[in-house]
Amino acid sequence: MVRTFCIANRKGGVGKTTTAVSLAAGLAKSGARVLLADLDPQCNATSGLGGEPQPKHPIAVGEPFADFLFQTNVPNLQLLPGCRSFASIEALTQDNPEQTKRIHEQLQQESEPYQFVLFDCPPSMGHLTQLALSASTEVLIPIQCEFFAMEGLVQMIEVIKKIMDAKPEKLEFGGVLLTMYDAGLDLTYEVEEQVRDFFGEIVFKTVIPRDAAVSEAPSHGLPVFDYAPRSRGARAYTELCMEILGDD
């Protein structure tokens, strides 16, 4: 069975795209066949893996993914590039039942060759993110270790639960990931305690530390494993991959 992750948070700057890219690369390096689909109009996941934004999004126009796929520098990892075209974005954000059904069918069919599919979503709970959620088996929520970490999460969880209720046994919480973890700050421990108390066992044991290498890697079109394989960030994302693979 294909495991499909929606990487989502309605807040920006929480390490969502970094996690999507790093997790996809790490799973691919384990030998799994992985597809990373960039649904964020900012296209940061696309540029972060050395790809180029496309003039139209294949999901919006219903064209085969094969015509758009970009083979990254990581064996086994293919990228479905994002798109900044207003027309494509508007088409994807329309709440049209017929189109939604068509997109779900296409995503299901196109996902079959892979063991993991990851959706990098925009920082919102709009139709694009809800579309990815309804097409996924698991939702992974990165949370930055900052004062406002929990802000807006209640509304986000309400949206996720509605989709879970509409598709029972289809979508589950894949995990909550603490990012930008600074062990030198008391606030970090306070946020961690609050998040673990609120979410319980679905919080990953792995935490992602603040690490310049993680921030620099995308500007070179590389995942952190290839840019700085001995960095703290690379080690942390390796541990995250091991946690996820251990759930199989």
Q: Report the share of the chain in percent with pLDDT over 70.
A: 98
Distance CA 42, CA 39 (A): 9
State yes or no: pLDDT of 61 exceeds 90. no
Distance CA 81, CA 85 (A): 12
Mean of pLDDT values over 128-134: 87
State yes or no: pLDDT of 62 exceeds 90. no
Contact 135, 169 (CB under 8 A): no
State yes or no: pLDDT of 198 exceeds 70. yes
pLDDT attached to residue 168: 61
Q: Which of 156-160, 164-168, 181-185 has the lowest mean pLDDT?
A: 164-168
Q: H-helix or E-strand containing 148?
A: none
pLDDT attached to residue 159: 84
pLDDT attached to residue 169: 66
pLDDT tens per residue across span 200-221: 999 999 999 999 999 999 999 9
Q: What is the pTM of this model?
A: 0.92
Q: Which is higher by pLDDT, 163 or 81?
A: 81
**Domain residue extents for the chain:** 3-245
pLDDT attached to residue 153: 80
Mean of pLDDT values over 110-132: 91
Residues 6 or more apart whose CB falls under 8 angstroms from that of 226 comprise 25, 73, 74, 217
CA 2 and chain centroid, separation: 15
What phi and psi, each to the nearest 5 degrees, are found at residue 70? -115, 125
pLDDT attached to residue 247: 54
pLDDT band at residue 49 under the 50/70/90 scheme: very high
The 8 Å CB, 24+ separation contacts for 210-217 are: 210/180, 210/181, 210/182, 211/236, 214/15, 214/18, 214/22, 215/18, 217/48
For 3-245, which CATH superfamily applies? P-loop containing nucleotide triphosphate hydrolases (3.40.50.300)
Mean of pLDDT values over 91-106: 78
pLDDT band at residue 9 under the 50/70/90 scheme: very high
pLDDT attached to residue 166: 80
pLDDT band at residue 232 under the 50/70/90 scheme: very high
Mean of pLDDT values over 188-199: 91
Rounded to 10 deg, the angle between the 153-166 and 127-134 helix axes is 40
Distance CA 48, CA 127 (A): 24
Q: What is the mean pLDDT of the chain?
A: 90
pLDDT band at residue 248 under the 50/70/90 scheme: very low
